[in-house]
Amino acid sequence: MSSEHSPPTDAAGATAAERPVFQPKVAVAAVFGTTVEWYDFALYGTAAALVFNKLYFPDADPLVGTTLAFGTFAIGFLARPLGGAYFGEKGDTEGRKKVLVTTLLLMGVATAAIGLLPTYAQIGVAAPIALTVLRFVQGFAAGGEKTGALIILFENAPPKWRGLLSSLPAIGTGTGTLLSTGAFALMTGLLSDEAFLSWGWRVPFLASAFLTLFGLWVRASLEETAEFQQAGVLKRDTAARPLRQRFRESRFVEAWTRYPREMIIVICAGAAENAGYYIFGTFSVAYVEDRGQPTTALLTGISIAAAVKLFSVPAFGALSDRVGRRPVSIGGALVLLLAAWPFFALIDGGQPWATWLALLVTLGVGQAAILGSQPAFFAELFDTKVRFSAVGVANNVGTVLTGGLAPLIAAGLLLWFDHSVLGVVAFMALMSALTAGTVALAPETRPVETPAESEGGTVGAHAPSRTGPGDPPDTSAPPGTSPRRGPRPSHPRTGSGARSWKD
């Protein structure tokens, strides 16, 4: 076999198929780092409702202050696509490891700085302005973090275990959210209201500094992925080039030029998962309060569902390795579609067990199925050269459009339909249909193992390597593929080494 088609190897000379199924160092570095970053990111959401409306927007009406505080919370979501584009370019040209270290450091510094930030009473209008800037930095870092963790696990995983290992960063996001909620619950439980608003709220933010230092130590020991090294991607010298030329030659533009269909797929495919999380896990709290019911059972159920997802998400990722990415993702979307109306009917009943059941079905099963199957699905749609940029930008744009705006849309629909959930259910059905339809029209990307490969070769195929004009040949294509056109279709309709449901 020529060196042009040699499978990527790591420092020890092992191919992806020969690497161990579970690599503790890579998994720990990715998951722990994501845990720390999402602990930081989620802290702000809780503090916006409990602290920032009082200490940084004190002159406004209480409801207006809360709205302004949540407005700065939304800034973090708007910054994520920008972070995805910036860190995607860095990850595709300078390496995945460097981005993972940078995003963790940036998030940690911004979060600790919030913990030290003077209040409005101390420095006036500079306080909310600085708070908004720091939230933007958090969102900017988050835009590159989850994608980077996903990709470094994906590129270090044996192809037949990519679904499972690529889903592990979701454990970090869930754990980080639980830790942030627990940290605030601990401080509010131990301190009086006066002490909490005086200094207690700062403790969870300052604790991030210690978590960040440990996370940096863990991630510093990582090596660059063999797949990135094999691709031979070199950083372009952009110092003397005009900004317009640098933009035209960016990985962001290249991804949209070579993979326009796949970019749209990534933006739309996560609609049900994004909207489901924010409608069932966030908007539902406002809905229960609007009904005049206590929120204790609902908040407890959200925490239970988050704990269940620590196991159900990787389980669905592993299932996608066996039956394919599409069936698992579509199945999750259909669960959310069918459960939308019963969800609100169950929580209207006011019975804790019914509320918990509703949350377990929607978040613990429906959303978890999509969240577990799509990370590998997204990464497999693109080749190594643009993978970080493509997934980072498209996934974050989709999160903002179909997730970040979901609570606002749902609240507006609740008012429009005179406090009836009919509009909210219709919106959730639309998002679920968008996911199911998009994924159904997309190719199945799960690698297919042939008898020859199972005897000693790489398993499956990477995304088609569509070399752009003037670029050197892509030498990272696996055996049985064309460097320009990608894998030879194994099925006349699915292509790209894909497997149809009937195979």
Q: How confident is the model at residue 469 (pLDDT cuts 50, 70, 90)?
A: very low
pLDDT bracket for residue 493 (50, 70, 90): very low
Q: What is the pLDDT of residue 444?
A: 92
Q: Structure tokens of 143?
A: 């835009």
> Please, which pLDDT band fits residue 222 given cuts at 50, 70 and 90?
confident
φ, ψ (nearest 5 deg) of residue 113: -65, -35
* pLDDT for 450: 42
Mean pLDDT of 260-287: 90
**Residue range 444-453: mean pLDDT, rounded:** 63
Q: How confident is the model at residue 339 (pLDDT cuts 50, 70, 90)?
A: very high
pLDDT of residue 93: 83
pLDDT range class, residue 496, cuts 50, 70, 90: very low
What is the pLDDT, as a whole number, of residue 479?
38
The 10s digit of each residue's pLDDT in 240-269 is 667 777 777 788 888 899 999 999 999 999
Pair of tokens at residue 363: 């978040």
Q: What are 361-408's pLDDT values in tens digits?
A: 999 999 999 999 999 999 999 988 899 999 999 999 998 888 877 877
Question: d(Cα 267, Cα 397) in Å, to the nearest integer?
Answer: 6
pLDDT band at 239 (very low <50, low <70, confident <90, very high): low
| Spatial separation of the C-alpha atoms in residues 358 and 338, rounded to whole Å | 12
Residue 4 has pLDDT above 50, yes or no: no
Distance, in Å, from the CA atom of 110 to the CA atom of 302, rounded to the nearest integer, reads 27
State residue 236 phi and psi, 5-degree precision: -75, 145
Which pLDDT score, from 0 to 100, does residue 61 have?
Answer: 52
- The yes-or-no verdict on residue 305 having pLDDT over 70 is yes
Within its chain, how far is the Cα of 29 from the centroid?
Answer: 16
Per-residue confidence (pLDDT) for residue 23, from 0 to 100:
65
Q: What is the mean pLDDT of residues 39-62?
A: 74
Gap between the Cα atoms of 332 and 435, Å rounded: 9
pLDDT per position as a tens digit, 107-152: 889 999 999 999 888 888 888 889 889 989 988 998 888 888 889 8
C-alpha triplet 449, 453, 454: angle, nearest 5°: 75
Least confident of 204-208, 295-299, 346-350: 295-299
